[in-house]
Chains A and B, each alone.
Chain A
Amino acid sequence: MAIHHQLLNEFQRDFPLSPSPYADIAHQLGVTEDEVLIALRELVKNQSISRIGAIVPPNSIGVSLLAAMAVPAEQLDEIAEWVSSLPEVNHNYEREHRFNLWFVVNASHDGHMGDVLGHIEQRTGLTIMRLPLLEEFHIDLGFPLEFIGAT
């Protein structure tokens, strides 16, 4: 299990940009490249990691927007599922508030964004509260995990 924890914690940033990055990681951890690949596949399969990829600042490619809606409780499951099915939506959470559905919409440009939001409002009959990013104060550099009671 140790290699899994190290893979989760020590490679959230500065992933090797070399031809054989998994072999480099293996070398660093004192294991084989196959062991690294097998462990990473397991972590993807059990959904501990979503991918090895990039975090991109909001609004650098296209536009993004935090949206919130006050959805009647009896409609929440259905509307949440439908909102999640839209390719422009990448995060979608239920939160404890009168505004109970919070999602992030990504679009290629402002016109596209307007179309997506309009479509959601029309289909659900609900108003979207639009909360665009005005200023980002904190950089997401990943965060250290504590493995207490976790698999």
Chain B
Amino acid sequence: MSSLTQLLYTARDSLTAQSYGLSVTGQNITNVNTPGYVKRDPLLETRALGTATTGSVTATGLRRATDIYIEKRELSARGSASAASEHDRQLSSVEALFNDLGATGMGSALDGVFASFSALAANPNDPTARTAVLGAASALAERANSMADALADTKNDLLKQAQATATEINEKAASIARLNQRIVAAETQGEDAADLKDQRNNLLLGLSELVDVRTIAGDNGSIVVQASGTTLVEGAESRAFSIDLNADGSLKLLATSVGGSSTSTEVTQFLTGGKLAGIKETRDVDVFDIGQKLDQLVFDVATAINTQHAAGFGQDGVSGRNLFDVGAVPAGAARSLRLSAAVAGNPAAIAASGDLASLPGGSDNAVALADIFNTGLTGGRTAAETYGDIVGDIGQRKSAAQQYVETQQAIKEQVQAMRESVSGVSLDEEMVSLTKYQRAYEAAGRVLSTVDQLMEELINRIGR
């Protein structure tokens, strides 16, 4: 049977516990907009004193409202959404290069060469028509160069972005490792590590946007972080990612051994998510494919024109001259295409005539040159058809990337909503909690004052 004194202690414990509840509620309200903040619930228990029932209460700590499975799904969803978003963003700049609808493509340059040959055939002896051929050929070469340069710049930019992303991953991994250490230390000493866990969670969310991430719960609040199929963080140790290039120019993701050993392991094949995956896909798949197709088109057109041009005769009676300088293989053709030195600045060298006897007004070779644009090149498609195919291909890639972004974004938002539903702060709830603890505190105060009155009454009566 409890005494009045015991009741005093009970009221004191209640005031402390309700005060703790108010404090946690205040924390929740304060952090309602803090990214990554996980709602806390105060843990109140009845205080046992041996086997006796005292009816007292104690605050044993707090609980972070989390769901480990939802958190894992969020990491994965963020990684996929980030990869898709980066892929889509990077493809925008590639698409802009081939936007003939916005007059930035190569279609008009190809048309210009055809039109110049056609005009030359109409008046083969006209210096203006000959100069126009040189101008159109030069414009085609410049356009091909600038598109290939832009693709090469995009690849270089993406390499730098990949390297910067790897550095960012390493910084986050190192921070997570440090937090792991502090969390373990705090929990070992029986301290609350909720804030540290929030910080670590925030870093994990940030990391998941850079690379695909999986987590495994370790001992004493520590976590193991796996990224791109390898362990990135384990306890207080983290590995470092670095970017290198393969012999074919594609990106290579390397991971150093834990402990800072100089040995590196290639983990590129396991890279599936995050900004890094988006960068790699754009650079090594899309830009590479489009560059190859552009090179093939430029090579085919330039080679066909060169062959026909060399078969004809310039006004000076010389044949065998190429109109373009282009390599022997398609690789790099767009970037290296130049107006041949044999014809540059020399309109008379344009071979409009098919034979010596038809000089200077023969037009058959000019007609044949124009006809190249109606003839199937590699794959049996004309230059215009092939170029249209490239434009369609880029559009298809960009459109698919956009749709994928929308899907991944929706999944991410759904998972985020699930996490928010479990871990987010609801002001409605907190206001109710605030009232709940406030009322309980007031009631405990009333118990205290009642006990005080009773004791005063007792003392006064006994003393009389």
Do these two chains really belong together in a complex?
no
The chain B residues found within 8 Å of chain A, CB to CB, are none
The chain A residues found within 8 Å of chain B, CB to CB, are none
